[in-house]
Amino acid sequence: AFLHGELEEDIYMEQPEGFVVPGKENLVCRLKKSLRLKKSIYRLKQSPRQCYKRFDSFMLSQKFRRSNYDSCVYLKVVDGSTIYLLL
C-alpha cells in the first residue's frame, strides 16, 4: 500500500558513504520526486501517514464517513443497512 503514497514535502538525505564530495562533506542531497522515489516510499518515516491520507481521501470520495470516535472506522448507510469498515 505504501507504494502509492504521494509525498508533500521535500526529502533530504546525507551523502551516501563512498559518494561524499571532498570539501562539501556538510552538504545534503535533496531527493527528486521520481518514479524511483515513489517505489521506495515504504522506507520513509512519512509512509504510514501518506498511505492513510490517500486511503482516507478515497473512502470519503465513496461516501463513507469517518467515525467521530475513531479515525480508523468508516461507516456508510446503504438501503437502511450500515456498513462498517475497520482499518
pLDDT of res. 55: 87
Question: pLDDT tens-digit profile of 18-61?
Answer: 888 888 888 887 776 654 544 455 556 666 777 788 889 999 99
pLDDT of 70 over the 60 cut? yes
User: Considering the domain boundaries, does residue 7 fall inside one?
Assistant: no
User: Considering the domain boundaries, does residue 70 fall inside one?
Assistant: no
Stretch (H or E) spanning 52: helix 47-61
User: Considering the domain boundaries, does residue 31 fall inside one?
Assistant: yes
User: Considering the domain boundaries, does residue 16 fall inside one?
Assistant: yes
Dihedral sign of CA atoms 23, 28, 32, 36 in order = positive
The domain tally of the chain equals 1
pLDDT of 5 over the 80 cut? no
User: Considering the domain boundaries, does residue 27 fall inside one?
Assistant: yes
Range of the domain at 22: 12-62
User: Considering the domain boundaries, does residue 71 fall inside one?
Assistant: no
User: Considering the domain boundaries, does residue 58 fall inside one?
Assistant: yes
pLDDT of res. 48: 74
Cα–Cα dist 77/84, whole Å:
9
User: Considering the domain boundaries, does residue 55 fall inside one?
Assistant: yes
